Amino acid sequence: MSTPANLSKADLQEHLVIGGGVIGLCVGYFLARDGHSVVIIDRDVEQKETCSNRNAGMVVPSHFIPLAAPGVVTQGLKWMLDPSSPFYLRPRFDLSLWKWCWQFVRHANRRHVENCQELLRDLSLESRALFVELSEELEFEFVKKGLLMLCQSEEGLEEEAEVAKAANALGIVAEVCDPARLRELDPDVEMNALGGVWFAQDGHLNSEKFLAALRRGIAKHGGRFVADEVTGFRKTGESISAVSTRESGEIAAGQIILAGGAWTPELARELSLNLPMQGGKGYSFTLANPTQLPQLCSLLKEGRVAVTPMDQTLRVAGTMEICGEDLSIDPRRLRGIVDSFCRFFPAFSPDHFEGLKPWAGLRPCSPDGMPYVGRAPGWENVLVATGHSMLGLSLGPVTGRRIAEIVAGASSDDRLEPARFS
């Protein structure tokens, strides 16, 4: 591989990306494509048991409202009383959890949404354009048919109609649909819905195939992978000269990018960096031979369940459990996902899920619902890329490109600064 003439000697040092999920791989790919030498370090470099591997695979410009938004706290408290609901916060004696909750409540207001929605729109649309580019470059399928937000109640449909109105005002295409229009958009599946909203610019993909394509792309551009765990840093003044690993010893570093998802704060503390974050557990099932196969991905308003066709399989995912790093599976939450799915798609019954192995993964949730993307304060060669909540896959490409631009000397956006809670 030839070396671009504009790269300095420092640029030619190996840049270490700590984390091999979708964010780490996107960062690694854009750095490697720009001519940098890249090493991806992760305990599970194949990402077989992580949030990136078995998620709903949705690319969602429709999600311009951050997780911290008006009404979320009140709805969450109601759901706490229902063991099969899509949300649960596990109470525990953990000061970081209660600080996170306080910060979340402070941001769950209209002003915060107004401050963030244009940024989320721009990031999402830029990321979608990159998915189109990458699908051709890396040869994976990106389905550009949109997303259906399906509603079974008048109240839910009214709420989503308001979201559609706000989306159109921002330049995001949204159409309120009656049942006949829903059938026209996705005629291959029976839907039990009062109505819904079609977000035409959304799309979906097979997340496992996307990750595999990124790995191939990184390798093609000379990047390498180390299956190991980072245990510490060798500090030289305001720089990190190397990272220590459990099995591979020290690895010398150019730039270091912390992209370990829900486990990033533990490493950040080694660098005196405060990154408030909680793991938001989600579950999924994959139906190998579904009775019916939709053409579009969908979100089920009342049950907060995501439904995505992936090749000839169907992925059904849901829940948000604020649970630290606990990956145990709660059967009551699984039943809630299955029951909600079957109410919206009556051709299916709970029997179709018998014997399926459920999957669980942790989304890295910041208290304001916005990711951390930028340089770590106090360090010359440390960057952060994490905290994307439920938008990790959707914002993966734009995050990767933004980190590559910052490495090249660009400034980052204040609203995404890793130091904003310090």
pLDDT, tens digit, for every residue of 192-229?
Answer: 999 999 999 999 999 999 999 999 999 999 999 999 99
CB atoms within 10 A of CB 162: 10
User: Which H, E and C letters describe 347-398, residue by residue?
Assistant: CCCHHHHCCCCCEEEEEEECCCCCCEEEECCCCCCEEEEECEHHHCCCCHHH
Q: Give 87's contacts (C-beta < 8 A, 6+ positions apart).
A: 75, 76, 79, 80, 304, 319, 320, 321
Confidence category of residue 45, pLDDT binned at 50, 70, 90: low
* Tokens standing for residue 23: 């964010």
| Mean pLDDT across the chain | 93
pLDDT at position 5, please?
Answer: 45
Whether 265 shows a pLDDT value over 50: the answer reads yes
| Residue 292, CB-side half-sphere exposure with 13 Å CA sphere | 18
Predicted TM-score (pTM) of this structure:
0.94
Q: What are the start-end ranges of the E strands in 246-342?
A: 249-252, 256-258, 278-287, 297-300, 305-310, 313-322
Q: In the prediction, which pLDDT does 2 show?
A: 38
User: What is the average per-residue pLDDT within 230-236?
Assistant: 94
* Per-residue confidence (pLDDT) for residue 231, from 0 to 100: 94
Instruction: Among 47-56, 176-185, 385-394, name the one with the lowest average pLDDT.
Output: 47-56
Check pLDDT > 80 for residue 372.
Answer: yes
pLDDT score of 7: 45
The residue that leads in pLDDT, 5 or 140, is 140
Q: Given phi > 0 = left and psi -120 to 50 = alpha, else beta, which region is 306?
A: beta
The domains of the chain are located at 64-94+142-203+277-365
Architecture of domain 64-94+142-203+277-365 in CATH? 2-Layer Sandwich (3.30)
pLDDT at 201: 98
- Which one, of 185, 119, 195, lies nearest residue 157 by Cα? 195
Q: Is the pLDDT of residue 387 over 80?
A: yes
The pLDDT value recorded for residue 9 is 44
Tell me the pLDDT tens digit for each residue of 76-134: 878 787 878 888 888 888 899 999 999 999 999 999 999 999 999 999 999 999 999 99
Q: Are 284 and 46 in contact (CB under 8 A)?
A: no
What token pair was written down for 307? 């439904």
